[in-house]
Copies of this chain bind each other. A is one copy, B any other.
Amino acid sequence: MKAYDSSKYVTPDGYTADITVFTILSEKKEKKAPPEMTLHMMLIQRKETDSEGNPNVEGGKWAIPGGFIHPDETGIDAAVRELNEETGVAGLHIRHFGVYDKNGRDPRGWIISNAFYAIVPESSLVNRRAADDAADVKLFSMDDVMNLDLAFDHRDIITDALAIIRTEMIRTTTAKNFLPEEFTLSELQRVLLTVTNDPKIASDPVFFAKAPKLPFIELALDAAGQPKKTTRHSYRPSRLYKFNGIDVIESIYG
């Protein structure tokens, strides 16, 4: 690269990656009722001291997994590495969604962070364990997250990530990742209700009337061509549906 004396300029004091990881937890509380589903995210608790025994900045606080990007790696490389180091989680499909660079966001100085997000099935997170700079790692419901005294500007990052997750869930067929291949309408409904309380979804008569007609959903049929049914959530057999792979783009113009 061209001659450039960085000592002559104010340069960033650090460059980091933060990875917001969401999942949907499903809890079957009643034998005959659909499971309760809630959006959760995985956070790590920062160790009180760093690797040299010195008091850690924002030590003890819950935070988004992440850490410093090394000069020889990209942001996403660092994100993948840090996530694995701090939580033991790997193989997630993460995406970049923003850069957080407000001066003052970190007491250590001018620290710029690249934020990533993923929403994954719970099975991807079962083997998590805190390590490296993390004293603990847990899944929190979004209500609980918002009641935490989070480190740095992580509340802002989480708010933005949440908006993206919600948009994706509502605008695309992302919900299918949290459903069995053949699902009931109430199961789909519960997944969607983890990110919205739109009455068109919350209302059984409205949703049950509309959903079977959506172009990307179809009845699951048995070998004889009859609609498949299940009694896993009710005494009355419920019809099973599946996504048919059609991608829909809903126009905002009508």
A 170-199 binary contact with B (CB < 8 Å = 1; else 0): 111100000000000000000010001010
Contact A192 B250 (CB under 8 A): no
A167 at the A/B interface (Cβ < 8 Å)? yes
Instruction: Tell me whether A214 and B252 are in contact in the complex, defined as CB-CB below 8 angstroms, given that A1-B72, A74-B74 are known contacts.
Output: yes
Q: Is the CB of B252 within 8 A of A170?
A: yes
A249 proximal to B (CB < 8 A): yes
Q: Is A240 an interface residue (CB 8 A)?
A: no
**What number of copies of this chain does the assembly contain?**
2
Flag whether A7 is at the interface (Cβ < 8 A).
no
- Considering only CB atoms, which chain B residue lies closest to A95 in the complex? B96
Complex Cα distance, B251 from A75, in Å, reads 32
Looking across the interface, which residue of chain B has its beta carbon closest to that of A188?
A: B253
Closest to A210 in B: B254
CB atoms of A170 and B74 under 8 A apart:
no
Chain B residues with Cβ under 8 A from A214's Cβ?
Answer: 252-254
**A250 near B248: Cβ-Cβ < 8 Å:** no
Complex Cα gap A173–B251 (Å): 10
- Of chain B, the residue at the smallest CB distance from A76 is B74
Point out the residues of chain B lying under 8 angstroms from A171, CB to CB: 171, 249-252
- Which partner residue on chain B sits nearest A168 by CB separation? B249
A192 proximity list for chain B (CB < 8 A): 253
Q: Is the CB of A170 within 8 A of B210?
A: no
**Chain B residues within 8 Å of A173, by CB:** 252
**Assembled-state Cα–Cα distance A110/B206 (Å):** 53
Asked whether B249 lies within 8 Å of A170 as measured between CB atoms, the reply is yes
Inter-subunit contact A248/B254 (CB<8 Å): no
21 A-B residue contacts at CB 8 Å?
A1-B72, A74-B74, A74-B75, A166-B249, A167-B249, A170-B251, A170-B253, A171-B251, A171-B252, A172-B252, A173-B252, A192-B253, A200-B253, A200-B254, A201-B253, A201-B254, A207-B254, A210-B253, A210-B254, A211-B254, A214-B253
In the complex, besides A214-B252, A214-B254, 4 extra interface pairs with C-beta distance below 8 angstroms are A171-B250, A172-B252, A250-B250, A250-B251
